[in-house]
A and B are shown apart, each in its own frame.
Chain A
Amino acid sequence: MNNNNQKISLTIDGVEVQGKPGQTILEAAEAAAVYIPRLCWMKNLTAAGSCRVCSVRANGRVQSACTQPIGPGMVVENDTEELRELRRNLIDMLFVEGNHFCMFCEKSGECELQALAYRFGITAPKYPFMFPQRDLDASHPEILVDRNRCILCGRCVRASQELDGKHVFGFVGRGTTKRLAVNAPDNLAQTDAEADDQAVAACPTGSLLVKRVGYAVPVGQRKFDHSPIGSEIENSDVQD
Chain B
Amino acid sequence: MASTQTKRIVIEPVTRVEGHGKVSILMDENNRVEQARLHIVEFRGFERFIQGRPFWELPVLVQRLCGICPVSHHLCAAKAIDGIVGAENLTPTAEKMRRLMHYGQMFQSHALHFFHLASPDLLFGFDAPVEKRNVIGVIAEHPDLAVQGVMMRKFGQEIIRATAGKKVHGTGAIPGGINKNLSIEERDALLADMDQMLEWSLESVKIAKSYTLENLNSVAEFGSFESNHLSIVREDGAMDLYDGKLRAVDAIGATIIDQVDPLDYLDVIAEEVRPWSYMKFPYLTSIGSEDGWYRVGPLARVNTCDFIDTPQAEVARQEFMGLTDGKPSNVTMAYHWTRMIELLHAAEKIQELLHDSALQGEDLVVPAGDRRGEYVAMIEAPRGTLTHHYQVDENDQVTMANLIVSTTCNNEAMNRAVRKIADDHLSGAPEITEGLLNNIEVGIRAYDPCLSCATHALGQMPLEVTLFDAVGEVVDQRVRSSR
Contact = CB atoms under 8 A, between A and B. Distances in A.
A214 B52 CA distance: 16
Contact of B179 (A103, A138, A144, A215): A215
Task: Sort chain A's interface into a size bin.
Answer: 10 to 19
A196 B57 CA distance: 21
A215 B171 contact: yes
Contacts of B8: none
A225 B239 CA distance: 38
B70 to A, nearest CB: 11
Contacts of B169: 103
B180 A218 contact: yes
B174 interface: yes
A104 B396 contact: no
Contacts of A138: 54, 395-397
A218 B172 contact: yes
Contacts of A1: none
B397 A136 contact: yes
A104 B171 CA distance: 9
Binding site of B, secondary structure by majority: helix, strand, loop or mixed? loop
A60 to B, nearest CB: 46
Interface string A196-233: 00000000000000011111111111000000000000
Interface string B49-62: 00011101101110
Binding site of A, secondary structure by majority: helix, strand, loop or mixed? loop
B164 interface: yes
A212 B56 contact: yes
A68 to B, nearest CB: 40
A208 to B, nearest CB: 13
Task: Sort chain B's interface into a size bin.
Answer: 20 to 34
Given A104-B57, A136-B397, A138-B397, A219 B64 contact: no
Contacts of A220: 165
A104 B395 CA distance: 20
B60 A212 contact: no
B440 to A, nearest CB: 35
B175 interface: yes
B142 interface: no
Nearest to A221: B180
Contact of B174 (A136, A144, A211, A214): A214
A223 to B, nearest CB: 14
A164 B64 CA distance: 38
B370 to A, nearest CB: 15
Interface string A92-134: 0000000000011010000000000000000000000000000
Contact of A136 (B52, B56, B171): B52
Nearest to B365: A216
A214 B61 contact: no
B137 interface: no
A216 B174 contact: yes
B355 interface: no
A114 B56 CA distance: 21
Contacts of B171: 215, 218-219
30 contacts: A103-B169, A136-B52, A136-B53, A136-B397, A138-B54, A138-B395, A138-B397, A144-B396, A211-B54, A211-B56, A211-B396, A212-B56, A212-B85, A212-B175, A212-B368, A212-B396, A213-B56, A214-B57, A214-B60, A214-B175, A215-B56, A215-B59, A215-B60, A215-B174, A215-B179, A218-B171, A218-B180, A219-B164, A219-B166, A219-B171
